[in-house]
Structure 1
Amino acid sequence: MAQPQGNEQPDVFTRFTTATARVLGHAWVFSAAVAVLVAWALTGPLLAFSDTWQLVINTGTTIVTFLMVFIIQNTQNRDTAALHLKLDALMLELKVSNAKLYDAENEGEKEIERQRARIARAADAGPSEGV
């Protein structure tokens, strides 16, 4: 993987979300979550399946879900932006002249579908048709 050219470090939130997403994406984290759920379920009979017993899992899962939404969205936004940057660089190198393609992520669904259909037609027509 290429190292950044500049001396600029990502901000604290970016470093945090990247590290968190990397750790939480491992199988052992999923296994730990399943173990917590099994332990919680096993305590049900001991605590007479009380409201407090239910509240513990409901509160815990709600908090984790709420926070994970922001972590996932942040990492997804950065991944998407990096992908667009790389695709734009490839398009520039290949001398793609269709300006609409460079900004396609900001177009509406109808325009994206229109461009997709145009490219599909050009691909079916063969290499003589340009994008």
Structure 2
Amino acid sequence: MMKSEQLEILISRFSKWADSASGFVAELLSDDSDQKEMISDRLEIFTHRFAKWTGSASGFVAALLSIFVWFVVGLVYGFSQGWERGLTIYIGVITFLMVFLIQRGQNKELSILQVKLNELIAVTKHADNRLINVEDLTEKEISAVQEIHHKIGEEDS
């Protein structure tokens, strides 16, 4: 495949992505609650897939390739201040977005773990059911519960 054909394919894919992104933003700004729920669902799917991809080998290779591209561009422009500013902005934007993506993933995993723990507490015969939804307690209340369980642990041994 010739480079011009590859470039055309890349431009075509980017154009499709840009069209879908602009449609997404237009839907996001609308007042329809059904559309907002649909957008939320799409965003959930996108962030899940993107987080999975960024944690994969291909995500690592893409990051490595982007570093290589920036290095080559730096060689072409003599590592000028403009190149350095562009690199700083690029790294800042990627870092900013990845922080939110990582936080979203951690929140989801924590919620899933909490639901599973609540289920185990609920089905265990002698469990303290007050611990269900313990995540809603304040730090002071959680410390008090920890002290109670620490004392119970000392009494059992």
Provide TM-score, normalisation by structure 2: 0.63
User: Taking every aligned residue pair, what percent have the same amino acid on both sides?
Assistant: 31
Whether 2:123 is the aligned partner of 1:93: answer yes
1:97 maps to a residue whose letter is: D
- Please list the CA deviations of residues 31-50 of structure 1 after superposition, one character each: whole Å capped at 9, or x if unmatched: 43234324424543542221
Match of 1:83 in 2: 113
- Secondary structure at the aligned position of 2:79 is classed as coil
2:44 maps to a residue whose letter is: T
Provide TM-score, normalisation by structure 1: 0.74
- Secondary structure at the aligned position of 1:11 is classed as helix
Cα distance in structure 2, aligned partners of 1:13 and 1:45 = 38
Q: Is the 8 A contact 2:118 2:133 kept in 1?
A: no
Q: 5 Å matches for 1:112-123?
A: 112-123=142-153
- The unaligned stretches of length 5 or more in structure 1 are 1-8
- Please list the CA deviations of residues 97-126 of structure 1 after superposition, one character each: whole Å capped at 9, or x if unmatched: 341x21221222222122122212212322
Question: Mean alpha-carbon deviation: is it higher for 31-40 or for 18-27?
Answer: 31-40
Cα 1:125/1:19, change in 2 over 3 Å:
same
Match of 1:70 in 2: 100
Taking only aligned residues, the RMSD between alpha carbons, in angstroms, comes to: 2.4
The structural deviation recorded for 1:89 is 0.4
Q: Paired residues, what number?
A: 118
* Larger relative helix fraction: 2
Cα distance in structure 1, aligned partners of 2:154 and 2:71 = 57
Cα distance in structure 2, aligned partners of 1:104 and 1:40 = 48
The one of the two structures with greater contact order (alpha-carbon pairs below 8 A, sep at least 6) is 1
2:142 maps to a residue whose letter is: I
1:24 maps to a residue whose letter is: T
Which runs of structure 1 show a deviation greater than 6 angstroms over 4 or more consecutive aligned residues? none
Whether 2:67 is the aligned partner of 1:20: answer no
Match of 2:60 in 1: 30
Cα distance in structure 2, aligned partners of 1:41 and 1:115 = 54
Match of 1:56 in 2: 86
